[in-house]
Amino acid sequence: MSTSSRLDWGVAPALDAFEALMWRMDVYPHLRSAVVGIELLDRVPDRERVIAAHRWGAQAVPRLRDRLVDVPLATPEWVEDTGFDLASHLEFVRLPAPGSERQLLDHAAAFAMAPFDRKRPPWQAQVIEGLEGGRAAYILKLHHALSDGIGIVQLMSFMHSRSPEPGSRRASAATVAAAPGGEPSPVDIWRRRLRRELDAAPGRARALLSKASRALASSDDGETRLSRAARYLASARRALAPYMAPPSPLLKDRSHQWRFEVLDLPLTPFKAAAKACKATLNDAFVAGLLGGFARYHTEMGVEVDEIPIGMPINVRSEHAAGGGNHFAPGQLAGRLAGATPIERMRHIGEQVARLREEPALAAPLALMPLLVRLPQGLVAQAMGPKMAANDLQISNVPGIRDAVYLAGARVTRLYPFAPLPGVAGMIALVSHGEHCCIGLNLDARAIAEPDRLMRALRVSFDEVLALAPAAATHS
């Protein structure tokens, strides 16, 4: 486990507008926002140590004991669940024989789609026994309102041990005690919210005046205020566009049923392949995905030039606390037809570089305070088609490079599964040790032949890996 006994993670007292929207839209199955991590373990972990580790974690990370309370005319507030019961969040499940990977993934997808108990902290965990070869798995499910992918990796890194031996603090962890005084009343919550708003008002006013002053000042390069405004408006039109390429007719159907698939890539050769092409690992990742979808389209008899894809752009500052969501939505055009892996890497790299320089990158987030105050059903009707406009959502999060353990069992893989917000596929990569672990959350109707797609993706990523220098492939 971490050398620190406490993690400063998830400390915001209330959801921001974007997080509140995700939380409120979760009541609609097609807009559900559970984030799931599946860890493969080399053996079955010790049950009592697993329980003790989670008790310790609930002490060390207070946010894990917090639930959300709706506040009229405001975003939901975090309050401590004074009746917190670990047994409501941690389960032990045994798969029936033979305990295959397919059984595990189907179980995890059903677990992910089950709604959270909104009267409890929005997270659950399962230890899965009965996997082939005497192995086990650990599934952690959290609501996206808790954190983005980077924050979740921070949490999992902190919660894991760096040794298979039991740690003294976990072994002696006591049951979490309820906060004195019980839960706050609605009036108490309103008073607390009003006090925070009043305390923050002077700082916000200063920031607004400073921003206005900068906007009115002349720019160093001689750019006029009118041209800056025009540049920002053009950027906002791009940021708010429904998509960057026409959606594929092959991927248009939706069932809103999740299907999980996984891919493994060797990290060092994959990074070497990207470097040999003067690209980033993310460029190589997206290029490999696009190559696979290009092959899938061809085999299915459908030819398209590009597909629209969404990609979160990290805006987390260096000093931001753990947890929470710190990303802006980015939209790209993914080239399928007539492109080599290198050309796809360059095309994606150029678009991502432009995205990071967009003045209005965060413009969609500016609409969230308005949306969160509209009737819930109306927002769901508006958000559904907007979120389904992209064919794919793609995410890449740096993972844990150290060897980590859960109650004596070594974590051999960590597969990430982000929610499927109406798109045909949500595909995420997390590095773990010397592996790139790719989790694919696919709409069961949009991807009519998932086995064919997975074969096409493996061929495409083999083409990318073949670009690595020979020395890297044997390191």
Whole-number Cα distances in Å, 313 to 298, 325, 329: 30, 11, 6
pLDDT in tens, 230-262: 776 766 666 666 667 899 999 999 998 999 999
Angle at 278 between CA 272 and CA 282, to 5 degrees: 70
Euclidean distance between CA atoms 443 and 251, whole angstroms: 9
Percent of residues, the chain, with pLDDT higher than 70: 80
* In the predicted structure, residue 401 carries a pLDDT above the cut 70: yes
For the segment 126-136, what is each residue's pLDDT rounded down to a tens digit? 999 999 999 99
Sequential DSSP letters for 37-57:
EEEEESSPPPHHHHHHHHHHH
More reliable by pLDDT, 264 or 371: 264
Strands ordered across the beta sheet of 392-400: 258-266, 435-443, 425-432, 392-400, 306-314, 327-335
Is there a contact between 393 and 311 (Cβ–Cβ < 8 Å)? yes
DSSP states of 129-153 as a string? Answer: E--GGG-EEEEEEEETTTB-HHHHH
Tokens of 99: 């305990």
Q: Please, which pLDDT band fits residue 277 given cuts at 50, 70 and 90?
A: very high
Arithmetic mean of pLDDT, 427-440: 96
Provide the residue count of the chain: 475
Q: Work out the pLDDT band at 467, boundaries 50, 70, 90.
A: very high
Nearest to 260 by CA among 383, 343, 388, 139: 139
pTM of the model: 0.87
The pLDDT value given to residue 178 = 46
Q: What residues contact 48, with CB distance under 8 A and at least 6 apart?
A: none
Cβ atoms of 97 and 44 within 8 Å: the answer is no
| Number of other CB atoms surrounding residue 351 within 10 Å | 21
Give the Å distances, CA to CA, from 270 to 345, 398, 399, 469, 473. Answer: 13, 14, 15, 10, 9
Burial of 433 (0-12, 13-18, 19+ CB in 10 A): middle
Burial label for 215, CB within 10 Å (0-12, 13-18, 19+), is exposed
Domains of the chain: 245-257+266-399+440-473 (3.30.559)
CA 323 from centroid of its chain's CA atoms? 11
